Copies of this chain bind each other. A is one copy, B any other.
Amino acid sequence: MGKNCIVAQSGGPTAAINASLAGVISAVNKSNNYEKIYGSLHGIQGVLRNEFLELSNATEDFIERLAATPAMYLGSCRYKLPDYREDEAAYKDIFEMFDRYNVGAFFYIGGNDSMDTVAKLSEYADAMGSSIRIAGIPKTIDNDLLVTDHTPGFASAAKYVASSIREVAYDTYIYDLQSVTIVEVMGRDAGWLTGASVLTRNEFSFAPHLIYLPEVAFDREQFIEDVRKSIDRYKNVIVAVSEGIHDAEGNYIAAGVAADDKFGHAQLSGAGKALEYLVKEKIGVKVRSIEINVLQRAAGHMASKTDLEEALSLGAEAVRFTELGETGFMTVIKRMRNEPYEYIIEHSPVKDIANKAKPVPVEWINDAHNDVTEEFISYIKPLVEGEVDVFYKDGIVDYLPIEHLVQTK
């Protein structure tokens, strides 16, 4: 009689994280080594609270719908484990639960913070001489995890951002007057997703005409200069900015506008809104800002097929690696070639990945700091390829039901 597995999800939602869950479930259910698979609700908290969904009886149809459903089927948490040497209580509870459920392997799908949990649990298991395998599976639209070539969720968000900016460009080009449209993209510390907006460009439209990433300092005066020049040349100018752009002193541009509500509280506007005000003040043309907001991370209807396939493989391979005896790792994508695009899945020690971040290389940003380079484009291009089947019910996008996450007293 084999051991059982637990899988959980953590951090922010993406369009691809459920594909990794589907990969784990599918691989466990096909495995000769493992028996049952339990989904822990709300990340590691589900283990502490004994809140599980049994997933062993998942049908092919369920797996397929799951892979195409955005956000997180099992729910998320933002829970940080303490150092076990200082406070062992949670660890004892977790490993007691692992014993109770006869667990042989625990899979955690998430970003930097979640990999911290994987690193700590595997370190604890090691210190206790436990044979339980602890594996991490990457996801984040920020694409800022080390070692892996890129992270699931990023390419789907990129596809949505570039497609949405193309639609914004069509919307903007209809007016025969000078205008500036500023699109704010997620990514506080890493500009990967903002840079991906470069894919919007085609043979007749250069939008976004200016792209600003948080990896280099943002200069307000240079920005106004850039916009003036672009208006002259293109009339309708579209600007993509990362929410995290900041000046040379490290102050967020978003904080440049300190809005006071009627109760007298200071409020922060986003970077896009701050630049909208700046353009209105300094240039005076028609200007608008658009914050794509959470729509970009939850848009399952425009997921990249390449992204979902990779996410699925990263989940399935994690199961296989634990069967080979590996623990304390995160599955990673290694790019083998670009044309045609090929990759393999490997594993890498999670302790080298957790709590660290991978910014866009400064060499991939142009000298004027208002665009990305050809290297960036070559990197991102293959990742957004391919479309997935989109399900509609009564005319509205439809996903796998998540009634277990929804409260209706």
Residue A148 at the B interface, CB < 8 A? no
Tell me which residues from 165 to 200 in chain A have a Cβ below 8 Å from any Cβ of chain B.
Answer: 166-168, 170-171, 173-176, 199-200
CA distance A385 to B164 in the complex (A): 22
A406, B173: Cβ atoms under 8 Å?
yes
Answer whether A71 and B232 are a contact pair too, CB < 8 Å, given A257-B261, A262-B256, A396-B199: no
Interface of A, secondary structure class, is: mixed
Chain A interface category by residue count? 35 or more
Residue interface mask A226-269, B partner, CB < 8 A = 1: 00000011111000000000000000000011111111010101
Stretch at the interface among A59-67, A120-128, A201-209, A358-366: A201-209
A4: chain B residues within 8 A (beta carbon)? none
Stretch at the interface among A19-27, A99-107, A332-340, A397-405: A397-405
CA distance A304 to B396 in the complex (A): 10
Tell me which residues from 1 to 27 in chain A have a Cβ below 8 Å from any Cβ of chain B.
Answer: 9, 13
Residue A300 at the B interface, CB < 8 A? yes
Residue A81 at the B interface, CB < 8 A? no
Residue A284 at the B interface, CB < 8 A? no
B263, A260: Cβ atoms under 8 Å?
no
Residue of B nearest to A299 (CB): B167
Residue A72 at the B interface, CB < 8 A? yes
A386: chain B residues within 8 A (beta carbon)? 395
